[in-house]
Structure 1
Amino acid sequence: MSLDTVVKDIREEANARAEDIRSEGETRAEEIESAAEADAEEIRADAEAEVDREIDQLREQRLSSAKLEAKQKRLEARRDVLGEVREAVEDELATLEGDTREDLTRDLLEAASEEFDEGNDVNVYGRSDDAELLESIVTDYDGYEYAGEVDCLGGVVVESDQSRVRVNNTFDSVLEDVWEDNLQGISNRLFEQ
């Protein structure tokens, strides 16, 4: 074998080996590129999914916030309407006149008088506009006297030093009790759903 043949064989072998290395390198580069593209696609898909989740979460939060705000506004409007109804009732009570006012005042004084013993000196207070009415009503009760005014819509506040009892039978206190006891029913009636 000649040197040229040996050189040729070595060259061919080196070229073949270089071709194999280059081919392996290209194959490996394609595998790395393919894996990188797959990783990039997975990262992009994960990022899109995360963005979609964040959008959904933000949408849910805004929807919940809007629903809560709407509910609060409805409740506020209901409170306003209930307040207006309450004011209208108070106005009606304050403007009661004649026999109706006298009958209610007598009933409230009679109910309050059950708390006091006979012979007690009892002071009766009421609305300043009802002074004349109260002075005439207390004449029906021994030991009772009209003692002055109290800020109320009508009715009476009755007290006695002997028994240390004070009874608030004003239209205001009766309205408060009735209002609290019937608020749910009033609300249901006003805001039937």
Structure 2
Amino acid sequence: MGLEAVVEEIREKGRSEAEKIRLESKQDVDAILAAANKKAGEIKLAAEEESAKQAAHILSQEVSAANLLVKRELLNTQKALLDQAYEAVLKDIAALPESFHREAIKKLLAEAKKEIPKGKVSCNARDVAAAKAVIAENPEFSGFKLGEPVNIDGGILVEGEGAELQIDYSYRTFLSGVWESGLKDASDILFG
């Protein structure tokens, strides 16, 4: 064997060895790339899931906030309507004929007399004549005298002698009591 044959054989072994190393490197690179792609896919999937979860959470918060705002507006509107109804009732009661107010004053004064037998009776300017007539026409009310007109929707305010005891029998006071006790029922009927 000549020197050329030995060199050729060494070259052939070198080529074979280089090809084997290249093949092993390619397999290593492919395995590393496959693992990296798998890891990247897992990260991408986890990020997409987290993103979807956060988007759903934000959407849920926004929907809840919007629902709360709508409910608040609805309640404010309902309250405004109920307030209008309350004021309309007071206005309608005030517009009733003088005979109604006169009879109401008589009944309220009889009720007040149970707690305050003598004192001063005050009413609004509209009802002064009716109150004066009720006190003058009914001997059981002789212990009462008429005070100055007060700013109430109707009814009476009674103050005992010495101003120790006061009773508020104004229409607004009675309506407020009825209103508070019946507000839930009225709201249920009106707004279901």
TM-score w.r.t. length of structure 1: 0.89
What count of residue pairs does the alignment treat as equivalent?
189
Q: After the TM superposition, which of the residue ranges 2-11 and 108-117 deviates more from structure 2? A: 2-11
Q: After the TM superposition, which of the residue ranges 144-153 and 50-59 deviates more from structure 2? A: 50-59
Find the residue that maps to 2:147 and give its secondary structure.
strand
Tell me which residue corresponds to 1:45: 45
Tell me which residue corresponds to 1:61: 61
Q: Is the 8 A contact 1:116 1:163 kept in 2?
A: no
Distance 1:160 1:8 in 2: 135
Amino acid at match of 1:57: H
Amino acid at match of 1:138: I
Distance 1:107 1:88 in 2: 24
CA RMSD of superposed structures (Å): 1.8
Return 5+ residue gaps in structure 2 as ranges: none
Amino acid at match of 2:186: I
1:157 aligns with 2:164: no
1:74 aligns with 2:74: yes
Amino acid at match of 2:52: D
Distance 1:56 1:162 in 2: 70
Amino acid at match of 1:32: I
Distance 1:8 1:161 in 2: 138
Distance 1:45 1:20 in 2: 37
Tell me which residue corresponds to 1:132: 129
Tell me which residue corresponds to 1:87: 87
Q: Tell me by how many angstroms 1:53 deviates.
A: 1.7
Q: Tell me by how many angstroms 1:126 deviates.
A: 0.6
Q: Tell me by how many angstroms 1:135 deviates.
A: 1.1
1:95-174 matches, cutoff 5 A? 95-117=95-117, 120=118, 122-139=119-136, 140=138, 141-162=141-162, 164-174=164-174
Q: Tell me by how many angstroms 1:4 deviates.
A: 4.8
Q: Is the 8 A contact 2:120 2:146 kept in 1?
A: yes
Amino acid at match of 1:130: D
Q: Tell me by how many angstroms 1:58 deviates.
A: 2.4
Q: Tell me by how many angstroms 1:163 deviates.
A: 6.8
Q: Structure 1 vs Structure 2: percent identity of aligned residues?
A: 28
Judging by fraction of residues, say which structure has more helix.
Answer: 2
Q: Tell me by how many angstroms 1:9 deviates.
A: 4.1
Deviation string for 1:56-101 (max 9, x for gaps)? Answer: 2222122212211221121112112111111110101111213222
Q: Is the 8 A contact 1:138 1:144 kept in 2?
A: yes
Q: Tell me by how many angstroms 1:32 deviates.
A: 1.2
Q: After the TM superposition, which of the residue ranges 153-162 and 1-10 deviates more from structure 2? A: 1-10
Tell me which residue corresponds to 2:19: 19
Q: Tell me by how many angstroms 1:148 deviates.
A: 0.9
Deviation string for 1:122-154 (max 9, x for gaps)? Answer: 000111111111111122212210011111111
TM-score w.r.t. length of structure 2: 0.89
Q: Is the 8 A contact 1:108 1:170 kept in 2?
A: no
Find the residue that maps to 1:159 and give its secondary structure.
strand
Return 5+ residue gaps in structure 1 as ranges: none
